[in-house]
Amino acid sequence: MLRFLHCADAHLDTPYTVADLDAADLKRAELRAAFSSMLLYIRQNDIRLVLIAGDLFSHAFIKKETISFLWREMEQTPSCHFVITPGNHDFYTDDCVYAQSSLPSNVHVFTSEKVRSVYFEDIGAEVWGFAHVAPQMPGYRPLAGVRPVEKKPGVFRIFCGHADIRGTSEDTPQITKEQLARFGFDYAALGHIHNTEGVRRVGKTYFGYSGCLIGRDFSETGFKGAICGILRTDENGANNVSVRRLRVARRHYEVLTVDLTALRLAQTLTEADVIAHILRTAEDAHITLDRDTALSLTLTGEIPADLFFEETQLLASLPDIASLTLIDRTVPWQAEALSEDPTLRGAYYNELRDALFSEDETLRQTAAIALRVGLQELKNR
Binding site for Mn ion (CB under 5 A): 55, 87-88, 192
How far apart CA 358 and CA 371 sit, in angstroms, is 14
Shortest Å distance, C-beta 87 to Mn ion: 5
- Residue 171 or 178: which CB sits closer to Mn ion? 171
Residue with Cβ nearer Mn ion (225 or 332): 225
Q: What is the DSSP letter of 147?
A: P
* Cβ distance to Mn ion smaller for residue 8 or 303: 8
What minimum distance in Å lies between the beta carbon of 221 and Mn ion? 18
Distance CA 311, CA 226 (A): 33
Give the nearest distance from C-beta 77 to Mn ion in angstroms.
Answer: 25
Any idea what DSSP says for residue 152?
A: P
Which residues make Cβ contacts (< 8 Å) with residue 212, sequence separation at least 6? 8, 9, 10, 11, 194, 220, 224
Query: Please, what is the minimum distance in Å from the beta carbon of residue 11 to Mn ion?
Result: 8
**What are the b/e assignments for 288-299, b being 16+ CB within 10 Å?**
ebeeebbbbbeb
- CA distances 349 to 104, 305, 338, Å, are 70, 10, 6
Distance CA 371, CA 327 (A): 16
* Residues 203, 190 contacting (CB under 8 angstroms): no
Q: Which is nearer to Mn ion, 88 or 221 (CB)?
A: 88
Nearer to Mn ion, 55 or 328 (CB): 55
Asked if residues 5 and 229 have their Cβ atoms less than 8 Å apart, the reply is yes
**Nearest by Cα to 176 from 142, 128, 227, 130:** 142
**At closest approach, how far in Å is the CB of 193 from Mn ion?**
8
Q: How many residues does the chain have?
A: 381
Residue 162: CB minimum distance to Mn ion, A? 6
Nearer to Mn ion, 91 or 349 (CB): 91
The residue among 129 and 304 lying less far from Mn ion, judged by its C-beta, is 129
Name residue 291's amino acid: R
| CB of 106 vs Mn ion, minimal distance in Å | 25
H or E element, residue 263: none
- The residues near 20 (Cβ < 8 Å, ≥ 6 apart) are none
Which C-beta is closer to Mn ion: that of 10 or that of 274?
10
CB of 53 to Mn ion, least distance (A): 9
Strand order across the 323-328 sheet: 252-259, 293-300, 323-328
- Burial-class residue 173 by CB neighbours within 10 Å (0-12, 13-18, 19+): buried
Q: Which is nearer to Mn ion, 77 or 88 (CB)?
A: 88
In the complex with Mn ion, the residue whose CB is nearer, 88 or 239, is: 88
d(CA 113, CA 130): 5
Least gap, CB of 37 to Mn ion (angstroms): 22
| Cβ proximity of 45 and 89 under 8 Å | no
CB of 217 to Mn ion, least distance (A): 15
